[in-house]
Amino acid sequence: MDGVARADKAPSTDLASEWRPRGSAFVPCVPKAGEEASAAAAEKPQPSRVVVRKPKKFGYGYVVKDLLVRLSSHLMSFYGFSRGSCPEHDIYIVKDLLGHGTFGQVAKCWDSDTNSFVAVKIIKNQPAYYQQALVEVTILSTLNKKYDPEDKHHIVRIYDYFVHQRHLCICFELLDTNLYELIKMNHFRGLSLGIVQLFSKQILCGLALLKEAGVIHCDLKPENILLCTSTVKPAEIKIIDFGSACMENRTVYSYIQSRYYRSPEVLLGYQYTTAIDMWSFGCIVAELFLGLPLFPGASEFDLLKRMIEILGYATFSQGNILIK
């Protein structure tokens, strides 16, 4: 990372051409001397490896509501929205597990229709998660098709969605490392000012589109901003995870945003707008430059206390928060 994101090194005039993200996390392992025998044995046919621990069965779902995913298993798409006119269904072959969260899990899959890798988000077999995932599909489909058809505003692309064994699956473009991992790789020293500016402009471009569409992301944080795998635009980033997103005129939830990036409106239970994403954006920019969170509150009370210590007291006028 020395040539990438050192704060004590002057940024190049052409950041986009010189800066490169880390290498792909899926490069095949090259066996060392003496390991050829074990490598040869690994090539022999073996039973599929389970990429999540096996819970107790409960029909198609399980006690923890997660789909039991195995390497090389197939996810079938019979009614995909983007390629639904095709009479043949798409097959996504599971190659790896990328992550796991409260919503379910994300798998790296091979798309047999386009012959390319994609990320498939497999939602838990639970009504609340299923309904919210449908909202995510609706919002992202609208953003991609209506507001950003040329893919210029740094919003993740949704390719397909379907139901597999009672689990809603959403297919996205495959991206690389998130910004938190990038800061971690830089030993939490913060990135150079030039790189921070480069990333900030792209995030703002995405937020401007969300403002135009009347969409609130509700969970903007470094973990939800990923680097692209493209070598054409090596410093490009995209905003992901619209699982908590809502329309500005339909703000039904009060407990939203990750704590370090939670806005005062949400903390105090006020009506919120797209402005809360701008608050999160400010916290992200500060963290990119400092290497550490700006408001690392241990609780909501501690978070509010830290805000007051740095920014001063706030007053409220016609639903807006004004910092004194």
| Catalytic positions, written as ranges | 219
User: 182 with 5: CB under 8 angstroms?
Assistant: yes
Secondary structure class of 161 (helix, strand, coil): strand
Under a CB-based contact definition with an 8 Å cutoff, are residues 170 and 135 in contact?
no
Question: Is residue 224 left, alpha or beta, with left meaning phi > 0 and alpha meaning psi from -120 to 50?
Answer: alpha
Contact 227, 23 (CB under 8 A): no
Phi, psi (degrees; rounded to nearest 5) at 161: -150, 150
Please enumerate, by residue number, every residue annotated as part of a binding site. Answer: 121
Residues 6+ apart with CB under 8 A from 26: 95, 96, 108
DSSP code for 145: I
Helix (H) or strand (E) holding 52, with range, is none
Measured from the Cβ of residue 268, the count of other Cβ atoms closer than 10 Å reads 12
Asked if 55 and 66 touch (Cβ cutoff 8 Å), the reply is yes
Which residues are annotated binding-site positions for ATP? 121
